[in-house]
């Protein structure tokens, strides 16, 4: 006959599990949140804009290398870089639009 019940609690007693949880304590050497190095928002924006700029300049550099025959650049490499740059601009534009929409909603809140 088929037994539809499975015993899951073999070898685990509830009292030992509860005892282990109750004896757990946090380490005493954890640094506070205030003392951690927090990245500045302006540094984050600067890094994002630099990465965006690099993504936008990559197709131009690859196209220049393709035309001059340097570094063994293929047309496929140029097209891939152009697609990546286009996708990066699309994501950045969407993010900026969402931030502006959020700002508009926040500014409409009456206090």
Q: Report the pLDDT value the prediction gives residue 70, as an integer from 0 to 100.
A: 86
Q: Is 13 left (phi over 0), alpha (psi -120 to 50) or beta?
A: beta
Task: Parse the chain into domains and list their residue ranges.
Answer: 38-107
Q: How large is the average pLDDT for residues 54-75?
A: 91
At 45 the pLDDT is 84
What's residue 32's pLDDT? 57
For range 79-99, the mean pLDDT: 93
| 16-60 pLDDT tens trace | 555 555 555 555 665 555 555 777 888 888 898 899 999 999 999
pTM for the complete prediction?
A: 0.56
Long-range pairs of 75-83 with CB within 8 A, sequence gap ≥ 24: none
């Amino acid at each position: 006959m088929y037994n539809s019940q499975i015993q899951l609690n073999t070898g685990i007693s509830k009292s030992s599990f509860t005892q282990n949880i109750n004896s757990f304590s946090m380490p005493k050497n954890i640094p506070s949140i205030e003392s951690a190095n927090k990245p500045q928002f302006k540094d984050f924006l600067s890094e994002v804009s630099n990465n965006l700029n690099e993504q936008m300049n990559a197709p131009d550099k690859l196209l220049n290398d393709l035309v001059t025959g340097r570094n063994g650049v293929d047309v496929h490499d140029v097209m891939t870089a152009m697609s990546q740059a286009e996708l990066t601009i699309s994501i950045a534009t969407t993010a900026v639009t969402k931030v502006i929409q959020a700002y508009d909603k926040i500014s409409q809140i009456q206090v």
